[in-house]
Amino acid sequence: MSEGKILDIAHISFLDMIKVMITLSGAASAKGTLIRNAIKTAERISEIDYPTFDDYLAAVENATNPITMIEGKVTHIGQFVFGLQNCPFGPSIKDYNQVFEKLPDGYADFTAEFNKTSNVTDQFRVGEGAGVSPFCSVHQPMRSAFAEKIRIGGKKIQIFQLGCKSGGGKKGFADKWLQAAGVPKEVVDKILDNHMCCYSLKIEE
């Protein structure tokens, strides 16, 4: 007798909820709703000021950094460029696929919509090709919005989403943000060989 697996109903319903949103009000509206939701979540966290960048990195290690708390531990590759080994939505997708084998229809349109230039993706420096699934439209803006609550040495920080990798291994790059952050694409490409997500952090002058 084969053993079953207990799934997280929140994972299943969240993925289906995205599909319902796309069907009922279109991909653009669904994208906006998810991003707004991410921003609203960020509004609820407290502001924090790390004295130095090393203190920031230490908070990542301790998992007390707000960004780490939502996405897991990230590796500082160097030059303020980070690589995230696991996608925070990985478990949700895995659970869903165990039951339904493939992700809901409409996700492709949604991802294309997220990658389109818009005021909000410009504001948070996300998308622009770095989106590889609808979950990126939650994860990337949420990280950037959280970053707005963080200071290092009293200075604001900004996140630039540089690239992301799908579970199947295909990489997506945000040329616009690569250029803005001054990070060569080859570097990000290499980082994504061993990570799912790549971004850079800038401390404002």
Q: Which residues bind other proteins (CB under 8 A)?
A: 23-26, 28-33, 35-36, 86-87, 89-90, 93-94, 97, 102-103, 107-109, 111-113, 115-116, 118-120, 129, 131-136, 164-172, 196-197
Of 158 and 166, the one with the shorter C-beta distance to other proteins is: 166
Smallest separation, CB 164 to other proteins (Å): 7
Of 50 and 173, the one with the shorter C-beta distance to other proteins is: 173
Smallest separation, CB 49 to other proteins (Å): 28
Sign of CA dihedral 23, 27, 33, 37: positive
Chain length of the chain: 205
Smallest separation, CB 7 to other proteins (Å): 14
Of 101 and 205, the one with the shorter C-beta distance to other proteins is: 101
Of 52 and 98, the one with the shorter C-beta distance to other proteins is: 98
Smallest separation, CB 162 to other proteins (Å): 14
Smallest separation, CB 4 to other proteins (Å): 19
User: Which DSSP string corresponds to the chain?
Assistant: --------HHHHHHHHHHHHHHHHHHHHHHHHHHHHHHHHHHHTSPPEEESSHHHHHHHHHHT-SHHHHHH--EEEEETTEEEESS-TTHHHHHHHHHHHSSPPTTHHHHHHHHHS--HHHHHHT--TT---STTHHHHHHHHHHHHTTEEETTEEEEEEEEEEE-TTS-EEE-HHHHHHHT--HHHHHHHHHH-SEEEEEEE--
Sign of CA dihedral 136, 81, 73, 153: negative
Of 66 and 172, the one with the shorter C-beta distance to other proteins is: 172
Smallest separation, CB 48 to other proteins (Å): 26
Of 155 and 170, the one with the shorter C-beta distance to other proteins is: 170
Residue type, 66: P
